Structure 1
Amino acid sequence: MLGVLFAVLALASAAFGCGVPAYPPLVSRVVGGENARPYSWPWQVSLQYNANGKWSHTCGGTLIATNWVMTAAHCISSTLTYKVLLGKYNLAAQEAGSVAASPAKIIVHPYWNPNNVANGYDIALIKLSQHVTLSDHIQLACLPPAQSVLASNTACYVTGWGRLQTNGPLPDDLQQGLLLVVDYATCSKPSWWGTTVKRTMVCAGGDGIISSCNGDSGGPLNCQAADGTWEVHGIVSFGSSLSCNYYHKPSVFTRVSAYNSWIKQVMASN
């Protein structure tokens, strides 16, 4: 009987590996954000906080294990109560198969300094109070190999429920936007981000048309590997204070591959 159980578990984990959505995303080379295909980014979560009994979306996040979510450190406040919504597409609708999970523990990178975002370390891990069951709507993201750096012009997708434009409305439906990676040599030029950007970050976008925006913070930068699986290479960290899609000010992401060992260590010791 145990042999049958292990076989079933093995099949389940094979069916739900990482980075392979049951509903593949519709990825065209269009410019401008667009509604994502429902449930095509099944590791995307909505981090919500409670104010006066009402829950509101504040940030995105990425499911990296059945009980761990990765987000940005700047999304976390010690004074707020959070919950994580998984398996969501439309935040305003009741959706079959979606799950609300409460954090058991939130670990912000020890070197994160909220007064110096440019220092980096904008990463936090949320341990959920229970394991979530993987499904067509809830799946794990793959993390990239440690220290891997994306080539210039790699096409990636930022996803989230952030504002549709600077000071614009918040969408109910999950959005996706195509962003091309800008290499460090370009992004660190004085006319781009200069010394604000570090090698532990990923720049993407900067065409003045499409970018991450308020509310996308903490969410994933999804890039497709050679074998077709999706890897989350970035965590939305910051953008220009002038506007979300400012020319030559690409969206800046925490580079996940710079933190593989920290992620592993936190998950193993908590």
Structure 2
Amino acid sequence: MKHLSLAIIFVAALHNANSVHLGSRIVGGEESAPGAYPWQVFVEGVANGQAISGCGGTIISDRHVLTAAQCFDGAQIARMYFGSFNITASDEPNRVLMETSDFTIHPDFNSVYDNDIAVITLPRALELNEFIAVANLPSGADIESDFIGTEGLLAGWGSPDGTNSLSPTLRFTRNTVIEKVDCEAHYGVDWMGPGKLCIETQDLNGPCYGDAGSGLIRESDKTIIGTFSFLDTRGCLDGFAVGFIRVGQLVDWINGIVGAKNIK
């Protein structure tokens, strides 16, 4: 099966809380507490002054956010909400809003979503605190690990009911990384290259539209295992495995950008 577009799902109702549809089935798990996942960022792709996509992202340094390449199809600017819980609220005390045109898409991102990853460089350093914090990139043995059997935490504002409406508040779910062969049988061997991994969603908790780019986090040490990239064309309510980009496979490329674009 092919993937469904996950990023180009920006909802006009995003800034109108009354229009956000919350179904009885919570695709994204549970509502978080404010500040529970301070590395999580809401990312909008903006073109001609209008938001054209809604995605997730992960803070990887005080100057950088990791997200999905697909989030910037046609975008000129990245707009980011840091320290946010309710993205429809206009008076969040811990929110920091930034915009930049400095984002780098992996040069080998392609039509089968290989290397679906991008790094956003911020215009100024974030002030890190209990609501805005950094997640760790894989290092050592984790760079080559396939993380089979590892439970990861995923947070985001993606659709809670399988529609094109985002959740106004941050939600989270925990899912386990499964054997790649289980995904190859579903998506095809050609689709599941070495830079991808999958998680189970049999309990109908998992990422959905608007969660592209959100990080799968190993909570014990706040390490980002993968970034959400694709799901089955039948949607996110049927319990099919969903796919991520393996961050460890691309950590050298990521570190090259982070090192080159730090404040001098």
Smaller-chain TM-score bracket: 0.7 to 0.9
- Assess if the C-alpha contact under 8 Å between 2:212 and 2:228 holds in 1: yes
Residue correspondences, number: 232
Contact 1:48 1:56 in 2 (8 A): yes
Shift of 1:265: 1.1
- 8 Å contact 1:32–1:178 — kept in the other structure? no
2:22 is matched with none
| CA distance in 2: counterparts of 1:155 and 1:136, whole angstroms | 24
SS of corresponding position for 2:154: strand
- Give the unaligned 5+ runs of structure 2: 1-25
Aligned-residue CA RMSD (Å): 2.2
Distance 1:80 1:133 in 2: 25
Residue identity opposite 2:236 in structure 1 = C
CA–CA distance in 1 between the matches of 2:47 and 2:85? 22
Larger relative contact order (CA 8 Å, sep ≥ 6): 2
**What residue is the counterpart of 2:213 in the other structure?**
218
Alpha-carbon distance change, 151 to 61 in structure 1, aligned in 2, over 3 angstroms: closer
CA deviations 1:175-208 (Å, max 9, x no partner) are 10121111223322x2x22212222112012416
Decide whether aligned partners of structure 1 residues 223 and 194 sit closer, same or farther in structure 2, where only a CA change above 3 A counts: same
- Counterpart of 1:250 (choices 235, 241, 245) is 241
Match of 2:103 in 1: 106
Match runs of 1:93-172 below 5 Å? 93=89, 94-113=91-110, 115-117=111-113, 120-145=114-139, 146-167=142-163, 169-172=165-168
- Return the offset for 1:243: 1.2
The SS at the match of 1:42 is coil
TM-score normalised to structure 2 length: 0.80
Q: Which runs of 4+ in 1 moved over 3 A?
A: 49-57
Q: 2:62 aligned with 1:66, yes or no?
A: yes
Per-residue deviation, 1:153: 2.8
TM-score (norm 1): 0.79
Counterparts of 1:68 and 1:162, CA distance in 2: 22
Query: Which deviates the most, 63-72 or 160-169?
Result: 160-169
CA shift for structure 1 position 96: 1.1
Aligned partner of 2:233 in structure 1 is 241
Instruction: Give % identity.
Output: 28
Q: Is the 8 A contact 1:207 1:245 kept in 2?
A: no
Distance 2:116 2:56 in 1: 13
Comparing 72-81 and 121-130, the one that deviates more:
72-81
Structure 1 residue 260, shift from structure 2 partner: 0.8
Q: Aligned to 2:135, what secondary structure does the other structure show?
A: coil
Greater shift in the superposed pair: 235-244 or 152-161: 152-161
Distance 1:57 1:43 in 2: 20
Determine if the alignment matches structure 1 residue 265 to structure 2 residue 235.
Answer: no
Q: Is the Cα contact below 8 Å between 2:63 and 2:121 reproduced in 1? A: yes
- Which of these residues, 195, 200, 203, is aligned with residue 205 of structure 1? 200
